[in-house]
Chains A and B, each alone.
Chain A
Amino acid sequence: MTQTARIIVNIGADGSISAETKGMEGAHCLDSISVLEDLLEAQTVSSAFTSEYYTTATSQEGGLSHDVEQR
């Protein structure tokens, strides 16, 4: 079953922003970084794959894992 792609965005009272993608296939979640930057008029200062990324990536074909390692 395909999981709905979601982005969870938290905007702090101090103007800080954090976001996390959920349920995106492959490295598609990386595309959302530039989309969010445009939407929010903000710059990414740090990013990290979550445990969900690695869990899903290791269960995929080798091609995707190779792609992740290259990034």
Chain B
Amino acid sequence: MSVSLVLVPVAFAAIAAWQASRPEQAATETGVLVQHVQTRMRDEHLLTVALSDTGALVARSDDELVADWSDVRACFSRGEDGIWKVDFTGAVDAEQAASIVTAVDTAYGLQVQRTVLARLRERAPSAGMAVESEMVEADQSVTLVLTQGAR
């Protein structure tokens, strides 16, 4: 018998599909334009690594993660739901802000994939499962076949 499932790692907001929403633009009291974008990312460590993977210099400041590229700064902070949101300042318009978030999300997705794979390989035996095979697909997804009863 068989059931098929779609799961979302807890490192993401619990939504099956995501697209960078169009940034909301606002101006600070000093007239600096800020592009505000909601992400779907939840895990601080994976976000930090993903930002570094996109070439950003990352620093922790109070409750914020500050990422600097050559002429753009992004300040990430958590919303009440624990999901990171980001304010961009510098030489960035709405389209570029959305593009950067999409690039960071792509890098974050790769980190989630690595983390989930490592977790699965490590924990499968204690759940009575064995990894029978593992294959990297053309789209860079990884398919594992687990057999049960291996405890």
Binding site for B on A (CB under 8 A): 4-30, 32-33, 35-53, 56-57
Interface size of B in residues (CB-CB distance below 8 Å): 44
Binding site for A on B (CB under 8 A): 1-12, 14-16, 105-106, 108-113, 116-117, 119-120, 123-124, 127, 129, 132, 137, 139-149
Distance in Å: Cβ of B132 to nearest Cβ of chain A: 7
Q: State in angstroms the CA–CA spacing of A48 and B117 once bound together.
A: 24
B1 touching A21 by the CB < 8 A rule?
A: yes
A9 touching B3 by the CB < 8 A rule?
A: no
25 contacts between A and B (CB under 8 A): A4-B148, A5-B147, A6-B148, A9-B143, A10-B143, A11-B141, A12-B109, A17-B7, A17-B9, A17-B116, A19-B7, A28-B1, A35-B127, A39-B119, A39-B127, A40-B120, A41-B9, A42-B8, A44-B7, A45-B16, A46-B5, A47-B3, A47-B5, A50-B2, A51-B2
